[in-house]
Amino acid sequence: MRYLLVEDNQELAEAVIGRLVLDGHAVDHAATLSEAEDCLAVASYDLILLDVMLPDGDGRVFLARSRTRLETPVIVLTARSQVSDRVGALDQGADDYITKPFDFSELEARCRAVLRRRGGAARNQISLGACVFDALSGTLSRGDTVLELKNREIRLLEVFARHPGQILSKAHLMDRLFSYDTAVTENAIEVYVGRLRRRIEAVGLRIETVRGLGYRIETGAA
């Protein structure tokens, strides 16, 4: 998953990014609303974490204005704990909010919950044919066979799992897995796809290479 963090507190931003990257996510950081606009102009995101008080404006105003053109889920980060502030953020288009200071485990859980709701799922598990992929535990299972995946494998399979049967280009996979400050080439995507392909063949899943276009996951019969 690729996140955009809009937060002017550098220490907090680095801590949040460090935690999310550890889970295998890609995170771009904007310290101002202007920088956030620049990021949104050139990239798409699975989730936005938005601070309220920023050097160049109010994040809630930015959110309300953006909702006419932006469907990306947003979690508001706020130091204000009054009910009216939280209700206001939700009414202006936030999918959720979390009050500072927060526990990183709660932030991660709220991110997962928002993404599940947007995906129409009630749980972290996704069915892929006869297999069950659990992005939270990082496992892919079929019957009694359970594969434990590494972080990058989890995030790559998560991208495929959310687009079953669709052809995903190398550029799309790079965009979902890596942030701006990560130097990566299409060859790296080939390596990651190759590794994941070998792992999931054990449970009957197949990643097909579509020459000149990209890759798609084939789940087979359920």
- Cα angle for residues 98, 158, 186 (degrees, 5° grid): 115
Q: What is the mean pLDDT of residues 169-196?
A: 89
DSSP conformation letters of 170-218? HHHHHHHH--TT----HHHHHHHHHHHHHHHGGGT-EEEEETTTEEEEE
| pLDDT band, very low/low/confident/very high, at 149 (cuts 50, 70, 90) | very high
Consecutive H or E run containing 108 = helix 104-118
Write the CB contacts of 121 (distance below 8 Å, at least 6 apart in sequence): none
Contact 47, 73 (CB under 8 A): yes
Mean pLDDT to the nearest integer, 115-122: 70
Q: What is the pLDDT of residue 68?
A: 82
Residue range(s) of every CATH 3.40.50.2300 domain in the chain? 2-118
Percent of the residues in the chain that have a pLDDT greater than 70, as a whole number = 96
CA distances from 45 to 73, 79, 112 (A): 9, 24, 14
pLDDT for 170? 93
- Does position 157 have pLDDT exceeding 90, yes or no? yes
Residues of each domain in the chain carrying CATH 1.10.10.10: 125-218
Choose between 48 and 68: higher pLDDT: 48
Q: What are phi and psi of 147, to 5 degrees?
A: -100, 130
Mean pLDDT taken over the chain = 90
Q: Quick one: pLDDT at residue 123?
A: 63
Q: Of the segments 73-87, 116-130, 138-152, which one has the largest average pLDDT value? A: 138-152
Which residue matches tokens 């709660």? 106
Average pLDDT, stretch 123-141?
A: 89
What is the DSSP track for 64-100?
Answer: HHHTTT--S-EEEEES---HHHHHHHHHTT-SEEEES
Answer whether CATH 3.30.390.50 is correct for domain 125-218.
Answer: no
Encoded amino acid at 96, one letter:
D
CATH number for the domain formed by residue range(s) 2-118? 3.40.50.2300
In degrees and rounded to multiples of 5, residue 208 shows phi and psi of -95, 135
Phi, psi of 102 (to 5 degrees): -125, 160
Average pLDDT (54-77) is 90
pTM over 0.95: no
Fill in the amino acid letter for 83: V
Given a cut of 50, is residue 222 above it in pLDDT? no
Judge whether residue 180 has pLDDT over 50.
Answer: yes
Q: What pLDDT does 92 receive? A: 84
